Chains A and B, each alone.
Chain A
Amino acid sequence: MFLIRLWHYFKGYVIIIVSGLSVERFINICTRRQILLWDIERLNDAAVLMKMSIRGFRNARSAARKSRCRVRIKAKKGLPFLIWKYRKRKGFIIGLIAFAALIYLMTSIIWSIEITGNYNVETGLLMKQINEMGIFRGSAKRSINPKYVADMLMLKNRELSWAGVEIKGTKLLISVREGIQPPAMIPMEQPCDVIASKDGIVISVMAKNGLALVKEGDTVKKGQVLISGVLESIHPEFGSKYVHAMGEVMARTWYEVKEEVPEKRIIRIRTGLEWNRYSVYFLDFRLRLPSGRNPFALYETSVLDKSPVIMNRFKFPFGLIVEKHHELKEEEQALEKEQAREFAYMIAMNKISEKMPREAEIVDRQMQVVASEGREYLLVTVECTENIAIQQELEGIDGISH
């Protein structure tokens, strides 16, 4: 019902009063000529009120003559009449058209380019390649062929195993996947030794090439040769053979950190006071609005981007940025002994995990409280298993000739 009314409103209609002795005849003639009538109401013995479409009204003239009725327009309703009424207000119409054109224009342009999924390939490089294809922020959406862009990216970057380009609203989304690269060729003609990268106790030796000089249970020092690339012949007159020594030497290693146990801790909390700095931006141009000086000495900021977004898809390159400054205050918090030690332990473990290689496996953790000069220290020792083998080129030998 509402939809029909809306349709009538868009097409425009007239409310007419038909007076005469045979109004029924008028209605019959109209219906036979495919003129739609609705909301017909009897006013008195000789008059009827009805609604009729504009087009129907033009054809109803002869129907009125035939049925000898008088037709009088009571009101004109609908959009066509409204437009007719405002036809002379040019500014209004120009504004309407300009608005529609602007919306269309702004939404048919790429306003941001997003690259996701790349770890080893730099975003800047991909962006540069995209720019070389003639795609920039501000390019027309229809000038971009997503399939072509994806293919070109695949061709230019061997590291990528897949590239997908999608235009979502005013955003160009580029998602890539990187393939697993083939391992580097081992330079077998380069003779080398395998040495220890740090001190430790050897757990297992697996020599893939070369002569193992250490065995399980041996204590090794940093820099000590573990697997030798020099193979001595039992007959000294034949000389030595040089190989590219390879292998894995698992060893037990220790990491130690001494951390002071604090008596108190400084924590920062928000006081609840806020101060905002506003700025507007267009593309990369940012203009700070005068909003006074930051009244806080100690604060943290959070940034809110308030740019207009239509339907979660069409984002425009301008907007308002609100930087919220929250005032902070420092508070000292006295720590209980147990808590303090835990705190120190956490700091120590963080320091250790920074020193440890990622592949190392923690086997054991030990904690020791040491007191010296009135202060308390926490000594954390972590025992782990890791591969300590690293290769070192043999000097003075050019290469292996086979």
Chain B
Amino acid sequence: MRRRKPAEKVRRKEAATVREKVAKMLEIPEEVVSDRPKITTVGRKEVFVENYRGIIEFTNEIVRINSNYGIITITGKNMKIREITNEDIIITGDIDNIDYVV
């Protein structure tokens, strides 16, 4: 029991959950049911992040966003948060990089 626990945790992070499997079977778009973050960029000026958990750091040069699959780091210049709600966050600015830190 004790040995299996960390292994399970790793599997949960990487492998698809039951919910996602069902969604795939029924051909429902995954982002509707999954808790994976969805990141959309429009040009280099805008980044939408859906399904995030919270922001960790926010400055003009770096925005770090916590999600279920690790920390999303967005770097750039003159970055602002245009809108932030419970589900999504819209970041604008001159974006250089979008990284995952697991």
Contacts and interface: CB of A to CB of B under 8 A. Distances in A.
Interface stretch (B17-25, B37-45, B56-64): B56-64
B53 to A, nearest CB: 9
Contacts of B60: 42
A274 B33 CA distance: 78
The number of chain A residues touching the other chain, given as a range, is 10 to 19
Interface in B26-76: 54-60
Nearest to B86: A31
Contacts of B85: 31, 34, 36
B83 interface: yes
A302 to B, nearest CB: 59
B58 A27 contact: yes
Contact of B84 (A23, A38, A41): A38
Given A27-B58, A42-B59, A48-B58, A37 B86 contact: no
Given A32-B86, A34-B86, A42-B60, A27 B55 contact: yes
A39 B58 CA distance: 13
B84 A24 contact: no
B82 A28 contact: no
A36 B83 contact: yes
Interface string A308-350: 0000000000000000000000000000000000000000000
A40 B59 contact: no
A37 B81 contact: yes
Nearest to A32: B86
Interface residues of B, number: 14
A24 B83 contact: no
B41 to A, nearest CB: 18
B59 A38 contact: no
Contacts of A32: 54, 86
A270 to B, nearest CB: 64
B79 to A, nearest CB: 8
Interface string A33-63: 0101111111000001010000000000000
B58 A24 contact: yes
B82 A24 contact: no
A300 B59 CA distance: 79
Nearest to A50: B81
B55 A24 contact: yes
A37 B86 CA distance: 10
B58 A38 contact: no
A37 B84 CA distance: 6
B83 A41 contact: no
A119 B65 CA distance: 80
A37 B80 CA distance: 12
Contacts of A38: 81-84
Nearest to A45: B59
B57 A24 contact: yes
B93 to A, nearest CB: 10
Interface in A171-209: none
Contacts of A27: 55, 58, 81, 84
B35 to A, nearest CB: 16
Interface of B: 54-60, 80-86
14 contacts: A24-B54, A24-B58, A31-B54, A31-B84, A31-B86, A34-B85, A37-B83, A40-B80, A40-B81, A41-B80, A42-B58, A42-B59, A42-B80, A50-B81
Given A38-B81, A39-B82, 16 more contacts: A24-B54, A27-B58, A28-B55, A31-B84, A31-B86, A34-B85, A36-B83, A36-B85, A37-B83, A37-B84, A38-B83, A39-B81, A40-B82, A41-B80, A42-B60, A42-B80
